[in-house]
């Protein structure tokens, strides 16, 4: 087994002084794809934001070792420069900031040196082509007026350009129709490899039909309640989260 | 001022001087002066002493049709580079005689000397820019006037007169800039813009003084039938800056836009009083001012759409938005309407907001450090106005200025 790219121990996180995560232990060896499942409100997205360094998500205890370094005290941009990427559930619209300007600023920051305009366009074009996306993002403002599917595709395009060591996909499947989900999943699959660890956060098993996880974790009430192989997802699809205490039985694929 | 002033011009100066002596001094109690005490612009006191600091300002060189420099109030002849046939670019003081018939008819026509600050400029102006574009001539390259201060003179009075005749077009930049000066410099400027029937004028004021300069800028544009005026005001530098642009839709089908960008930091105080006045039916105006404010700076926007009786079919918009970057910085916005005609379409909006934490986090999560992320957000915020300015180099310049202020 490869060295862990991510090692979370005893992680406790509060949002506005309300404890949400109550001792999360989770390890992802580099190159593996893990799924994090669980009912609404179990703390999945909180984990995603806490990992990425959102200032509202306060880490009150525990440690997060990323690629050998404790990142708990780091700002979001430092974590990103170390190779951590979060594909957001709701990418925000930033008015007036062009996609190209944003991407170039991001790539320069991540690489620590200025990419030439020519190389940048080449990178943009090659990654768009790799993912089967057209160039329509190029002339627009960041996420502004993007459809739900476009926002998610744009997140995946950023991931492809940034080439992180580890990516958290926070409910990337939500709000996508089957075709869009396939496109996004294929994008992730093309990037899959020994140099990329992935944590797919999802409520439903649907996306896991297209991106096969190596390991599945179930989160419930701020802790990892069970960890298993891909078969755990199938089990959840059939039985839901009821046995963990959830009132709902919503692990079945939507649609 | 050149030695020989024609008699008619001297008479105006004398009249303005008499007005100045008889008009009561501004106290700051006046409604229009609530936000920027006239004393802060040195509009009440005696002539400030010449502090005598030195330094020159260097300006990005774009391709220009003509360029004129007014350093410390000393006029010089313009550099004529690539002027279309019939277009006149001259130093205004020299033009009083050289182009008397053209100048005499229009000068003081839009901004006279009835009020105190106007009278002060009319009585004292040192020099300035005169541009005349004859009927049907399209001057594609911009004309630029640069008014600079080194601190060698405590007061600078500049004046611009632009006349664009029927069906003609022009782009003119009035730039006000200096390095940091060691003592106070007071600048007063007046810009009069005549846009003839079916003509088009883009006028850009770039106010980028160093510390130590206070500036009262007055601008008025008159837009005739089916003509277009785009006034852009970019305010970046100066301790206290008050800018008063008024656009007048004087003919049916006229289209007047007053666009503004400002970024105040440190202890800067900027006030923009922007007015659109509709004197003819079926005319369009749009006031759009956006600003960023940081440190302990304070900005005020006062906007007014005036539609007197007899201007049905007026289509008028007014928007002011402010981005406050930290506690302690302050922006006030007062959008106003005076509508006395029925059947008009008017809207006004003013807003003061902060940098959205979610925007900041999104950019940071892509590796962009906070200062760089703020720069992107501020530039993005100003983009709505910038994309309405045709001069590309202004964007580059502004971007650099924003970057410098944020660092």
Closest residue of A to B384, CA-based? A96
| Arithmetic mean of pLDDT, B340-345 | 90
The pair phi, psi for residue B355, each rounded to 5°, is -65, 130
Element (H, E) at A161: helix A148-162
- B47 pLDDT band, cuts 50/70/90, is low
pLDDT tens digit sequence for B100-123: 999 999 999 999 999 999 999 999
**Is B336's Cβ below 8 Å from some Cβ in A?**
no
pLDDT at B10: 95
Multiple choice CATH, A4-97+164-244, 3.40.50.410, 3.40.50.300, 3.40.50.10420, 3.30.300.250: 3.40.50.300
| Arithmetic mean of pLDDT, A184-192 | 92
In b/e form, how buried is each residue of B295-312, taking b as 16+ CB within 10 angstroms? ebbbbbbbbbbbbeeebe
**Is A53's Cβ below 8 Å from some Cβ in B?**
yes
By the 8 A CB rule, do B53 and B183 touch? yes
**Is A114's Cβ below 8 Å from some Cβ in B?**
no
pLDDT tops 80 at residue A254: no
Instruction: State the ipTM, two decimals.
Output: 0.95
Mutation to test the B interface, candidates A76, A93, A104, A167, most B Cβ within 10 Å: A76
**Domain ranges in chain A?**
4-97+164-244
Q: Is the dihedral of CA B125, B127, B128, B129 positive or negative?
A: positive
Among B137-141, B213-217, B318-322, B403-407, which stretch is predicted with the lowest mean pLDDT? B403-407
pLDDT at B1: 46
Chain B residues in contact with A109 by the CB 8 A cut-off are: 366-369, 372
- Percent of all residues in chain B with a pLDDT value above 90, rounded to a whole number: 75
> Hey, what are A8's tokens?
């979370």
Element (H, E) at A85: strand A84-87
pLDDT tops 80 at residue A248: no
Nearest beta carbon to residue A94 from set B362, B367, B384? B362
DSSP secondary structure of B51-115 = --------------SEEEEEETTEE---EE-SPPTT-EEEEHHHHHHHTHHHHHHHTTSSS-SSS
pLDDT tops 90 at residue B324: yes
**Domain ranges in chain B?**
7-250
**Is B24's Cβ below 8 Å from some Cβ in A?**
no
pLDDT tens digit sequence for B208-217: 999 999 999 9
**Is B382's Cβ below 8 Å from some Cβ in A?**
yes
| Mean pLDDT score across all residues of chain A | 92
pLDDT tens digit sequence for B284-308: 999 999 999 999 999 999 999 999 9
**Is A74's Cβ below 8 Å from some Cβ in B?**
no
Chain B residues in contact with A97 by the CB 8 A cut-off are: 376-377, 379-380, 383
pTM of the model: 0.89
**Is A27's Cβ below 8 Å from some Cβ in B?**
no
Number of A/B CB contacts below 8 angstroms equals 83
Element (H, E) at B214: strand B213-223
pLDDT at A227: 96
pLDDT at B45: 60
Edge-to-edge order in the sheet of strand A57-66: A18-29, A4-15, A57-66, A69-70
- Angle B370-386/B392-406 helices, nearest 10 degrees? 150
> Hey, what are A239's tokens?
């039985």
CB contact under 8 A, A91 and B361: no
pLDDT tens digit sequence for A225-245: 999 999 999 999 888 888 887
pLDDT tens digit sequence for B269-287: 999 999 999 999 999 999 9
pLDDT at B61: 66
CB contact under 8 A, A96 and B379: yes
pLDDT at A252: 46
Mutation to test the B interface, candidates A75, A83, A106, most B Cβ within 10 Å: A106
Residue B66 CA, chain-centre distance (Å), reads: 20
pLDDT tops 90 at residue B50: no
Q: Measure the CA–CA gap between B134 and B169, rounded to whole angstroms.
A: 9
Shortest Cα distance, chain B CAs vs residue A174, angstroms: 19
The pair phi, psi for residue B84, each rounded to 5°, is -65, 155
Decide which of A183 and B297 is more confident. B297
Chain B residues in contact with A105 by the CB 8 A cut-off are: 363, 368, 372, 376
Chain A residues in contact with B361 by the CB 8 A cut-off are: 52, 54-55, 76
By the 8 A CB rule, do B276 and B318 touch? yes
SS3 content of chain A, % helix, strand, coil (to 5): 35, 30, 35
| Highest mean pLDDT, choosing among A200-209, B43-52, B339-348, B359-368 | B359-368
């Amino acid at each position: 087994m490869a060295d862990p790219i991510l090692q979370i121990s005893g992680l406790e996180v509060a949002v506005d002084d309300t404890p949400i995560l109550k001792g999360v232990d989770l390890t992802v060896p580099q190159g593996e794809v893990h799924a994090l499942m669980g009912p609404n409100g179990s703390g999945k997205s909180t984990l995603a934001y806490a990992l990425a360094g959102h200032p509202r998500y306060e880490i009150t205890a525990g440690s997060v070792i990323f690629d050998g370094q404790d990142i708990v005290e780091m700002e979001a941009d430092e974590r990103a420069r170390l190779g951590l990427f979060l594909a957001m559930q709701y990418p925000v619209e930033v008015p007036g900031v062009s996609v190209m300007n944003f991407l170039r600023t991001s790539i320069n920051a991540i690489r620590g040196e200025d990419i030439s305009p020519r190389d940048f366009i080449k990178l943009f074009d090659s990654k768009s082509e790799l993912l089967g996306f057209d160039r329509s993002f190029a002339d627009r403002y960041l996420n502004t007026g993007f459809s739900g599917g476009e926002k998610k595709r744009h997140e995946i395009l950023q991931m492809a350009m940034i080439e992180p060591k580890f990516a958290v996909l926070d409910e990337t499947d939500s709000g996508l129709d089957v075709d869009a989900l396939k496109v996004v999943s294929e994008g992730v699959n093309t990037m899959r490899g020994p140099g990329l660890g992935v944590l797919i956060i999802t409520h439903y098993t649907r996306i896991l039909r297209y991106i096969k996880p190596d390991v599945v974790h179930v989160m419930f009430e701020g802790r990892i309640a069970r960890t298993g192989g891909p078969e755990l997802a199938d089990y959840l699809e059939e039985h839901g989260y009821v046995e963990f205490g959830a009132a709902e039985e919503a692990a079945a694929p939507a649609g | 001022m050149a030695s020989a002033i024609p008699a008619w011009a001297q008479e105006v100066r004398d009249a303005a001087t008499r007005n100045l002596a008889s008009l009561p001094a501004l106290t700051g109690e006046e409604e229009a002066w609530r936000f920027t005490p006239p004393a802060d612009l040195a509009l009440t006191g005696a002539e400030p002493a010449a502090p005598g600091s030195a330094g020159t300002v260097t300006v990005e060189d774009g391709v220009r049709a003509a360029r004129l420099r007014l350093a410390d109030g000393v006029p010089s002849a313009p550099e004529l580079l690539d002027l279309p046939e019939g277009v006149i670019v001259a130093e205004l003081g020299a033009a009083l005689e050289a182009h008397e018939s053209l100048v005499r008819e229009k000068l003081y026509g839009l901004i006279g000397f009835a009020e105190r600050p106007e009278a002060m400029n009319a009585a004292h102006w040192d020099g300035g820019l005169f541009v005349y574009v004859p009927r049907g001539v399209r001057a594609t390259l911009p004309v630029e006037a640069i008014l600079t201060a080194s601190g060698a003179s405590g007061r600078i009075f500049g004046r611009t007169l632009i006349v664009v005749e029927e069906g003609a077009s022009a782009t003119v930049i009035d730039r006000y800039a200096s390095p940091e000066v060691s003592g106070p410099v007071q600048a007063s400027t007046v810009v009069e813009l005549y846009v003839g029937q079916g003509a088009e004028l883009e006028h850009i004021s770039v106010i980028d003084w160093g510390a130590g300069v206070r500036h009262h800028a007055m601008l008025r544009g008159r837009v005739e039938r089916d003509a277009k005026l785009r006034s852009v005001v970019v305010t970046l530098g100066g301790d206290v800056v008050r800018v008063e642009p008024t656009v007048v839709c004087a003919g049916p089908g006229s289209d007047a836009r007053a666009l503004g960008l400002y970024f105040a930091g440190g202890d800067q105080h900027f006030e923009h009083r922007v007015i659109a006045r509709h004197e003819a039916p079926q005319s369009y105006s749009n006031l759009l001012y956006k600003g960023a404010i940081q440190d302990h700076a304070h900005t005020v926007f006062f906007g007014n759409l005036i539609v007197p009786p007899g201007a049905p079919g007026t289509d008028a918009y007014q928007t002011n938005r402010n981005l406050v970057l930290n506690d302690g910085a302050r922006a006030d916005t007062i959008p106003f309407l005076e509508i006395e005609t029925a059947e008009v379409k008017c809207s006004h909006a003013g807003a003061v907001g902060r940098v959205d934490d979610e925007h900041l986090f999104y950019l940071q999560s892509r590796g962009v450090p906070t200062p760089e992320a703020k720069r992107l957000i501020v530039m993005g915020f100003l983009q709505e106005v910038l994309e309405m300015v045709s001069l590309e180099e202004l964007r580059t310049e502004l971007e650099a200025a924003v970057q410098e202020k944020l660092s």
